[in-house]
Amino acid sequence: MRAFVFPGQGSQKVGMGKELAATSPAAREVFEEVNEALLQNLSGMMAEGPEEELTLTQNAQPAIMAHSIAVLRVLEREFGVKLAEQATCVAGHSLGEYSALCAVGAFDLAITARLLKLRGRSMQAAVPVGEGAMAALLGADVESAKALAAAAAQGQVCEIANDNDPTQVVISGHREAVERAVGMVKDHGIKRGMLLPVSAPFHCSLMQPAADRMADALAHTPPAAMALPVYANVTAARVEDAQEERALLVEQVTGRVRWRESVLAMRADGVESFVELGGKVVGPMVGRTTPEAQVTSLVTLQDLEAFAKENA
């Protein structure tokens, strides 16, 4: 059994998709459709920068999705490897959950791009710049991270945002609280705390205004039936009903990304192989969570060609 998985924010970089667009009509079609949906030349920004524009949340989120779906379309149309035939389920890290839902037909490409543009803008607007922060805790498990966050909060918000793998947990909240947590890591047996270069404190209760906006947008965006089940970030459980998944996307804005648990749930359900589309971010997390699983990352044409040959 195989899962196709999709990366989240932080996997963007200038030049993403450039090679695919230059050589593949299927990839160009994806990028052109996203440009048209958003009324901006996002693919040009992805290919040439500037980096500070691409890194903005409202651009990075649809860009990462577009790249993942372009990789998938090339795999399907030009190499004949179909998602529905090769995978038994999908999952995505944070915004990658939207990429996964697009891949299985819950939302079409244009709708997914517009939802992610709104999600990025809403998350950025939820907290004034400079008032929030996130930090990666290296060598931390959930329990030690939870204790650290509670000790550092001191009346402010400091919460677990991402449970990525057995060696990395991310916290999010008010900047002062997160900075206190970074300074207290040794007291909680955590190897290192590192502030992340993000513009907002994602996946914590400070994101409630963004969750409200996404609830309204998703209420007016009924999803279609999904071709494959998705493992949801906030429950780390298999979801087959598109309406249930739509509600979970709202919870996801303020909720914890339970990626480690999602990987373990997929493994428990028989998944032995994980294929990351459009990045090399969540694949390594999978490898650290379940070293016995087979992990493949597909980014370049050479990656796609090799995968297609192996799965002909």
Q: Which of 11, 24, 68, 94 is catalytic?
A: 94
What are the respective helix, strand and coil percentages of the chain, to the nearest 5? Answer: 55, 15, 30
* 297 is known as an active-site residue: no
The first and second tokens of residue 88, run together, are 């038994």
Catalytic residue among 67, 93, 174, 203: 203
Nearest-CA neighbor of 22 among 303, 306, 300, 304? 300
Q: How far apart are CA 249 and CA 244, in angstroms?
A: 9
Q: Which of 228, 231, 244, 169 is nearest to 203 (CA)?
A: 169
The tokens for 79 are: 């190499």
Q: How far apart are CA 197 and CA 183, in angstroms?
A: 17
Residues composing the chain: 312
Active site residue 122: no
Collect all residues with Cβ–Cβ distance below 8 Å to 44 and sequence separation of at least 6: none
Place of tokens 């039936």: 225
> What are the residue numbers of the active site?
94, 203
